[in-house]
Structure 1
Amino acid sequence: MNSTPGSASTVAPAGPRLKRSLGTPSLLLFGLAYMLPLAVFTTYGLVTETTGGHLAGAYLVTTIAMLFTAGSYASMVRAYPVAGSAYTYTQRTFGRHLGFLTGWTLLLDYLALPLLNYLVIGIYLNAAFPAVPAWVFIVGSVVLVTVLNVIGITLVTSANLALVGVQIVFIAVFVITGLSYLSGASSVPNLLDPFFSAGTPLSGIAAGAAILALAFLGFDAVSTLSEEAKDARRTIPRAILLCTLAGGLLFIVTAYIAGLVFPDYAHFTDTDSAPLDVMTRIGGGALFTFFTAAYIAGSFASAMTSQASVARILFAMGRDGQLPRRVFAAVHARFKTPWLAVLIVGAVGLVGALALPLDVAASVISFGALVAFSFVNLAVIKHYVIDGKERGARAMTTHLVAPLIGFALTVWLWTSLSGTTFVAGAIWVAVGVGVLAIVTGGFRRKPPVMDFSEEDPAPLLEAAADPAR
């Protein structure tokens, strides 16, 4: 059905466009909320055991790798300041088929992250209020997050200020309490142990660092807001780099203090609830209660931002004709948001959170992230050095050497993931190949492509008059 001026929604090419309202501070808050500053404690027990007690070292490795990749994202945003993230960068650089599959792979992470947050919210609130089933909290959080995302991205970023602030306050309290505990302790472990110790296998730290890549999806999420940012070529790159650096420092400091406070990781009461042991040791029940409240607030903020980001990736793919345009490219006439895409992501999150266990939801997020990160690093080289024929010391450093280092580090982390993760990722990619085959009529034609200009973000869709495409 064609849209009318008074209808609830329109399709992007002919109707309202996304509103450019976000500056660098809002984008930075969005990315930090997505990253979840307290994400250290989501996989704390698992990665601490995997790395042999060197969680801070694993975060240091991941942060270095992600800073190189964030630089590549910043370079690609300057070339293509449009929605779509790694999907758009790969498509415009390596072609439509590979662009679709890159976006499809990254989509797995974006769909799983809101689901993971909803699961965590249900688990922690159920622990605090055992009389209320976890599913009640899951349903309530999904509904609230979805409504906020339909109303508008500006409202989401306003809420992020308070929710990120709560986490920063907790981290400050945790660090101060941890240092106070250490000052009164009869013995303190070697100050370098949380990073590395003699005899520690590098493979263990690499395996842990690979899992932690999921904590850095925030800078990719920032790039999905390119069409809602003021002066995207300047604000988005700046926010991406600041988000990666700030998030990495928060993770490293928190993991370092936790490693000093509780070096005897082999004595965790339970790996999944290992933060309870840490909080109880340095602050008793009061600190753990504060942690629970701050962590739930952070998970809610991350759910809001992750749902907003995946909706905008679906929006970009819908405008491209690689998903049904009338559904995924629909923009709400009043709120200027991709409302149908938001509703679909909410429905997927609800079903998944009610049906899947936490470990399954968490196991696949890093897979797609590292695949997408690898292609973005390669895209910089292809766009600037090979196609753009840039030369000179600065160009070679920024657009060749740095992306090559980023690519090598992301591939190293990617190949350090577990076999189970690769199986799940391979299944998802195979489904994507099937979808691509349908879209292209058995690969007999190229997928549709969109064209943007900075002044007019609405795409000029190929074959717009051909409903079959």
Structure 2
Amino acid sequence: MSIDKFGYRQQLRRELRIRDLIAYGLVFMVVIAPFGIFGSVFQASGGMIALAYVVGALAMILTASSYGVMVEKYPVAGSVYGYAGRAIAPAVGFLTGWAILLDYVCIPLLLSLVAGAAMNSIVTSVPVWAWVIIFVLVNTVTNVLGIKTTKLLNWLFLAAELIILVIFLVFGLIAIADGKGHGFSLDPFYNGTSFTWSLILGGVSIGMLSYLGFDALGLLAEDAADGARTVRRAMYLSLLVVAGLFVAQTYVAALLVPDPAGLIADGDATGSAFYDAAEIAGGHWLGTLTALATALAWGIANNMVAQVATSRLLMAMSRDGQLPTFLSRVSLARSVPTNAILTTATISLVVGLWMASREDGITLMSAMVNFGAMIAFIVLHACVVWEWIRTGRQGGAGRNLIVPVLGAAVLIAVIWNGNLLAQTVGLIWLAIGAIVLIVLLATGRKPTLPEVPADDEPTTNPTAVSHV
């Protein structure tokens, strides 16, 4: 489906094929993402970390189904923001876009913080704030050069992450077979003495951070060679692949944790639980390798594609008049939203440097990212049901009613059992968004989206396109 139908002109080059989108999704989710948050999820799930990742995968597959439904109907950049605005109302779209901004704008700076902390543990002479600057600058220059450069680097980083993951899994399994660790056991999946659903959902509320990224494929609907069909398939495939990898690496690492009871009781203040397990598996070199891989994967690979997704969201909201118009300008030479990319980089740099000076900076950023994403996903499921009812119940009830209701229920349960800080910060952010919306309405700037014209009507929309 052409985006002309929605009042937009195709500006972005359709460079990305399904293999590129899958690589993009895998890099964004980071196939070794559990390396960096392993200790936190292990503690929150009472050691049943593999089960937490399985439950998280099921929740995200339900969410991917709803993304597939909506991207077919509205194959434009903007993702949940655009879906809610068109399926329900522009005002709902604005609030949803505001909620997901909490996720997308914070992700690049969170990644820079985590990577900076990891690199500081290896090269202690360079402070965290300096690494934040380095990571932000490298990714900004790369993305301004254009989507082709980003696509190439995606493949290189993905290959490196997979190689390191295979090395860890091989050495880990051999070490367990040789009697290191705690031997083969199903405890990472189920421990009858401590299992409760609230415990598992608490682990999911943290581990869900690893899955965030597949949804960003919806923001690339205008970059995809075959549009919605390619995006939908890439979402499912990337989720299935990464879920298998997450479960495998957390299961092996859980069996190698030096002191499981201590980790559950005291947590992982230094963030080194996974690296400690890797050191047991292969020695000091493997612990250092996994730490370095985490820094580069979070700081460059994931950060790079996160910045791309954030810039597309800013561009989409800007061209609809819901953010400053300069954010919608696309470089004719590079075919990228340069101003949106530079704005994302500026926010990451300023807020990242501030958070680098706080002891709870990473915790606060993680809370904000997760809450924003969960709220957006719940609205997404509501959009599917609303659209199904509004259009006379076209399509099966399974995909358009049962799946979204189940998906929303799981996400609500995850939020309910999640971190109190996430709930507090997220609600404050939503309240600010509501105030902004009231101001827009009071000043006669009601949020609007280009109307979908009839097939025989012209599709021009002079306000939707601007260039530099």
Structure-1-length-normalised TM-score: 0.90
> 8 Å contact 2:181–2:280 — kept in the other structure?
no
Name 2:124's counterpart in structure 1: 130
Matched residue, 1:414: 415
2:330 aligned with 1:331: yes
Structure 2 equivalent of residue 52 of structure 1: 46
**Structure 1 partner of 2:358:** none
User: In 2, distance between residues paired with 1:28 and 1:451?
Assistant: 32
2:407 corresponds to which letter in structure 1?
A: G
Distance 1:151 1:463 in 2: 24
CA deviation after TM superposition for structure 1 residue 387, in Å: 2.2
Bigger drift between 251-260 and 380-389 goes to 380-389
For the 8 Å contact 1:54–1:193, the answer to whether it is kept is: yes
Q: State the identity %.
A: 33
How far has the Cα of 1:16 moved from its partner? 7.9
For 1:205-231, what per-residue CA distance to the aligned partner results, in whole angstroms no more than 9, with x for missing partners? 111112222222211111100011111
Q: 1:246 aligned to 2:241?
A: yes
1:459: Cα distance to partner? 7.3
Aligned position for 1:446: 446
The separation in 2 between residues aligned to 1:14 and 1:375, in whole angstroms, is 24
Most deviating of 313-322 and 365-374? 365-374
Moved more, 233-242 or 284-293: 284-293
Say whether the 8 Å CA contact 1:385–1:399 is kept in structure 2. Answer: no
Partner of 2:317: 317
Q: How many Å separate the matches in 2 of 1:402 and 1:14?
A: 31
Alpha-carbon distance between aligned partners in 1 of 2:197 and 2:394, rounded to the nearest angstrom = 37
1:192 deviation in Å?
1.5
Change (3 A) 1:270 1:425: closer
After TM superposition, the structure 1 = structure 2 runs for residues 252-267 of structure 1, keeping only pairs within 5 Å, are 252-262=247-257, 264-267=259-262
User: For residues 230-379 of structure 1, what are the structure 2 equivalents within 5 Å?
Assistant: 230-262=225-257, 264-268=259-263, 270-271=268-269, 272-299=271-298, 300-325=300-325, 327-356=326-355, 357-379=361-383
What amino acid sits opposite 2:319 in the alignment? R
Tell me if structure 2 keeps the 8 A contact 1:213–1:369. Answer: no
What is the letter of the counterpart of residue 115 of structure 1?
Answer: L
Instruction: Pick closer, same or farther for the CA change 1:401–1:270 going to 2, 3 Å.
Output: closer
CA drift at 1:20 = 1.2
Equivalent-residue separation in structure 2 for 1:106 and 1:191 (angstroms)? 39
Deviations 1:248-278 (A, max 9, x none): 1111111111112227323349442212321
Task: Summarize deviations over 1:168-215 as a string: whole Å, max 9, x none.
Answer: 111111111111011111784562210111131221111111222222
Query: What residue in structure 1 maps to residue 14 of structure 2?
Result: 20
Matches within 5 A, 1:371-390: 371-390=375-394
Letter in 1 for 2:196: P
Q: Partner amino acid for 2:363?
A: D
Cα distance between partner residues in 1 of 2:122 and 2:319? 43
Cα pair 2:388 2:394 within 8 Å, conserved: yes
Q: How much does 1:120 deviate?
A: 1.9
The one-letter code sitting in structure 2 at the alignment partner of 1:28 is I
For residues 418 and 143 of structure 1, what CA distance do their matches in structure 2 show? Answer: 32
Residue 59 of structure 2 corresponds to residue 65 of structure 1: yes
Alignment check: 8 A CA contact 2:28 2:305 kept: yes
Q: Distance in 1 between matches of 2:238 and 2:432?
A: 32
Structure 1 range deviating more: 21-30 or 409-418: 409-418
Deviation at 1:49, TM superposition (A): 0.8
1:222 counterpart residue number: 217
In structure 2, the CA distance between the partners of 1:55 and 1:437, relative to structure 1 (3 Å rule), is: same
Instruction: Verify: 1:185 aligned to 2:179, yes or no.
Output: yes
User: How far apart, in 2, do the equivalents of 1:366 and 1:281 lie?
Assistant: 31
Q: 1:425–1:14: structure 2 CA closer, same or farther, 3 Å change rule?
A: closer
Counterpart-to-counterpart distance in 1, 2:61 and 2:72: 17
Aligned counterparts of 2:110 and 2:321: Cα–Cα separation in 1: 29
- Counterpart contact for 1:452–1:460, Cα < 8 Å: no
How far did residue 389 of structure 1 move? 2.1
1:118, 1:142 within 8 Å by CA — same for their partners in 2?
yes
**Any conservation in 1 of the 2:38–2:273 contact (CA below 8 Å)?**
yes
Distance (Å, rounded) in 1 between the aligned partners of 2:376 and 2:367: 17
2:4 alignment counterpart: none
Shift of 1:244: 1.3
Relative to structure 1, is the Cα distance of residues 342 and 180 closer, same or farther in structure 2, using a 3 angstrom cutoff? same
Whole-angstrom CA distance in 1 between matches of 2:213 and 2:405? 22
- Report the Cα offset of residue 349 of structure 1: 0.6
- One-letter code aligned to 2:385: I
**3-state DSSP class of the match of 2:417?**
coil
Distance of aligned partners of 1:411 and 1:353 in 2 relative to their CA distance in 1, 3 Å threshold = same
Aligned-partner SS, 2:255: helix
Q: Note if contact 2:315-2:328 (Cα within 8 Å) is conserved in structure 1.
A: yes
Q: Are the aligned partners of 1:311 and 1:338 in contact in 2 as well (CA < 8 Å)?
A: yes
Q: CA deviation at 1:84?
A: 0.3
CA contact (8 A) 1:450 1:462 kept: no
Report if aligned partners of 2:110, 2:366 keep a CA contact under 8 Å in 1: yes
Check the 8 A contact 2:181/2:256 in 1, yes or no. Answer: no
Do the aligned residues in 2 keep the contact of 1:105 with 1:368 (CA within 8 Å)? yes
- Give the Cα separation in 1 of the matches to 2:172 and 2:445: 60
1:64, 1:16 → 2: CA distance? 35
**5+ unaligned residues in a row in structure 1: which ranges?**
1-12, 465-469
Query: Hey, what does 2:206 align to over in structure 1?
Result: 211
Distance 1:345 1:445 in 2: 24
Does the 8 A contact of 2:40 with 2:268 survive in 1?
no
Q: Normalising to structure 2: TM-score of the pair?
A: 0.90
Which runs of 5 or more residues in structure 2 are unaligned?
1-6, 356-360
Contact kept? 2:171, 2:282, Cα under 8 Å: yes
Stretches of 4+ moved more than 3 A in 1? 13-16, 186-190, 267-271, 461-464
Counterpart CA distance in 1 for 2:394 and 2:99 is 30
Q: Residues of 1 paired with 2:125 and 2:337: CA distance?
A: 37
* Structure 2 residue matching 1:332: 3-state secondary structure: coil
Greater shift, 397-406 or 156-165, is seen at 397-406
Q: Match of 2:368, as an amino acid? A: V
Q: Aligned residue for 2:29?
A: 35
Q: How many residue pairs are counted as aligned between the two chains?
A: 446
Local SS of the residue matching 2:330: strand
- CA–CA separation in structure 1 for the residues paired with 2:183 and 2:368: 34
Distance 2:247 2:177 in 1: 20
1:317 positional shift? 0.2
C-alpha separation in 1, matches of 2:188 and 2:419: 23
**Counterpart of 1:86?**
80
